Structure 1
Amino acid sequence: MSRIGNRVLKIPAGVEVKFDENNTVIIKGLKGELRQSFSPLIAISLEEDGLVTKRTNEIKHTKQLHGTTNSLLSGMLIGVSVGYKVELDIVGVGYRAALAGDKINLSLGYSHPIAYQIPKGVTVEIPKPIKIIVSGIDKQLVGQVCAEIRAYRKPEPYKGKGIKYSDEKIIRKEGKSAGK
């Protein structure tokens, strides 16, 4: 039994839900509009309590899609009403970021600067040269942009230098010990 799939999703104030052909759900809110197509194996309906997802059969694959569909719908409802925000910290001497139009210029200790093109649907703020704030309505896109930026210089375990999520804890290793 899927507990995630069986939950009823409350629709926040100011959010409008529409259904299109091929099991496509369109959700409009204060922040924008999201559109997603779902499997026909999951029936999505709008009831007085909120959005409800139901399985059409009891096959294992359908059960797997049930919770996933409900979680994706929940993410869409939160995205159009509140939005998502992820903060990245840059740690290291001389490591910094700067915003230049629709690109982020990163200096991460390489022989060349890195220019990252910001995709549409995501806004990036750099309040300090060592802090990047990525925000948007699409949870998956915000997470993907953060992962791509972080991949340029992942935090290393000895000094902790690199790009890390602000709530990430880097497990440190002990360096070489001197000979006896």
Structure 2
Amino acid sequence: MVKMTTEILELVKKARKGDDNAFEKLLKDQYEYIYRTAYHYAESEFEILDIIQETTSIAYQGLRKLKNDQYFYTWYIRILIRTAYKMRSKTKKIVIEDETSLVADIDYSNEIEQEIDLNDSFNKIERKYADVLQLYYYQDFTIQEISNILEIPSGTVKTNLSRGKQKLKQILGGDYFEK
């Protein structure tokens, strides 16, 4: 989560008035955060960069519509999530793999395997649960911030967190991370 300082708020004000350098600085300063968020909605480096590029374009064009400078990053992440889902629904995946070649000579550590399993599990649960879980656990947003980003009541966020964790537990098995 990004802490909004007076410096950041000043940059947002400048950006809203048309200062391209201020807008660029806002995004560059939080690029790792933005990238990490896009990572959870993409399947390749190309898709991550495409999502960020498209999100930035949409945000730049709609910057004057931002109502509260305090929520600049919340607003940007909301656009990013919507953009990622739109882009994913437009592209169809065709995957051809030879399972034996994927396993040969690769020594995954247990941690990497768990990360792969967890990411795969997010694709198997409903979108509303995956979104809340990713924003809460990977991006460290509070329940209220998630409520603002997804434009749903905070009670619904809590419910979706609980149900999402239950769904992951069913998919991965109750003792999955106790191995």
Tell which structure's C-alpha radius of gyration is larger.
1
Q: Which has the higher helix share?
A: 2
TM-score by length of 2: 0.25
Q: Which has the higher strand share?
A: 1
